[in-house]
């Protein structure tokens, strides 16, 4: 007699700086998601944030849910602290798209996106590895909202327009906002509010 199947579970995480968005295949001295919380067996990250990036990360035990979310054109908003005071011209370039970035050994042209300078700058607690201070030159913050997600795309985009990213925080996925979630906090939810039609998968 087969065992009854447990309901699938879904989580929202504020991924801290310095963690890989994975559970297995641990390179030496790297921090994994399983170090943050006792996730159930079979939990997977939906998309990734690279080791140096922070913010919203969705996790689920439902492979169909993961495929659905990754396959949808779900908006993802990032706050990037960049080297220098970003100019209106650079903002306009980001908005127009067509920026050539390296992706899988080829050049990829970005799509138009939403972008604007954040003034005043957002307040976030210092990360575990401090960003350089103003003695080494000024910094500024920009909001970038994408409906695509190439590897390290935001970092490549800001560098291409002359303002390399120093700190990157994903603050929104669909209708899910980072808000005041502390770094490292995990919230279990019944479903993900992505701003798309309701998702109904067999539990």
Instruction: Supply the mean pLDDT for the chain.
Output: 88
Domains of the chain (ranges plus CATH)?
Answer: 10-72+176-189 (3.30.70.580), 76-173 (3.30.70.1560)
Residues 141/165, Cβ–Cβ less than 8 Å:
no
Burial readout 173-190 (b: 16 or more C-beta within 10 A, e: otherwise): bbebebeeeebeebeeee
> What is the pLDDT at residue 201?
40
Residue 5 has pLDDT above 70, yes or no: no
The pLDDT confidence band at residue 72, using thresholds 50, 70 and 90, is low
**Bridge pairing between strands 54-60 and 165-173:** parallel
Q: Which of 171, 165, 115 is nearest to 140 (CA)?
A: 165
175-189 per-position pLDDT tens digit: 999 999 999 999 999
106-141 per-position pLDDT tens digit: 899 999 999 999 999 999 998 888 887 767 889 999
Q: Which of 38, 50, 119, 193 is catalytic?
A: 50
Give yes or no for a cis peptide into 49 (omega within 30° of 0): no
The pLDDT confidence band at residue 196, using thresholds 50, 70 and 90, is low
Residue 3 has pLDDT above 60, yes or no: no
Those residues with Cβ within 8 angstroms of residue 187's Cβ, 6 or more apart along the chain or in another chain = 11, 12, 13, 181
Those residues with Cβ within 8 angstroms of residue 40's Cβ, 6 or more apart along the chain or in another chain = 6, 9, 61
Residues 155/52, Cβ–Cβ less than 8 Å:
no
**87 vs 72, higher pLDDT:** 87
Mean pLDDT of 37-45: 93
Burial readout 39-48 (b: 16 or more C-beta within 10 A, e: otherwise): beeebbbbbe
Residue 41 has pLDDT above 80, yes or no: yes
- Ranking 4-8, 12-16, 171-175 by mean pLDDT, the lowest is 4-8
- Is 50 catalytic? The answer is yes
pTM summary value: 0.90
How many angstroms separate the CA atoms of 22 and 8, rounded? 19
Mean pLDDT of 84-107: 94
């Amino acid at each position: 007699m087969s065992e009854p199947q447990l309901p699938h579970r879904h989580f929202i995480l504020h991924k801290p700086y310095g963690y890989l968005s994975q559970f297995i295949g641990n390179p030496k001295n790297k921090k994994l998601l399983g170090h943050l919380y006792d996730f159930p067996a079979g939990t997977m990250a939906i998309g990734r944030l690279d080791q140096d990036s922070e913010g919203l990360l969705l996790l689920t035990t439902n492979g169909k849910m993961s495929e659905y979310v990754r396959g949808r054109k779900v908006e993802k908003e990032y706050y990037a602290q960049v080297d220098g005071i970003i100019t209106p011209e650079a903002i306009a370039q980001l908005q127009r798209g067509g920026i050539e970035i390296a992706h899988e050994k080829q050049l990829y042209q970005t799509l138009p996106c939403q972008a604007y300078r954040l003034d005043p700058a957002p307040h976030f607690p210092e990360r575990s590895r401090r960003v350089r201070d103003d003695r080494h030159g000024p910094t500024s913050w920009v909001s970038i909202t994408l409906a695509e997600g190439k590897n390290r795309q935001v970092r490549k985009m800001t560098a291409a327009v002359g303002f390399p990213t120093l700190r990157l925080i994903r603050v929104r996925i669909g209708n899910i906002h980072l808000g005041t979630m502390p770094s490292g906090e995990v919230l279990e939810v019944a479903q993900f509010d992505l701003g798309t039609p309701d998702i109904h998968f067999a539990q």
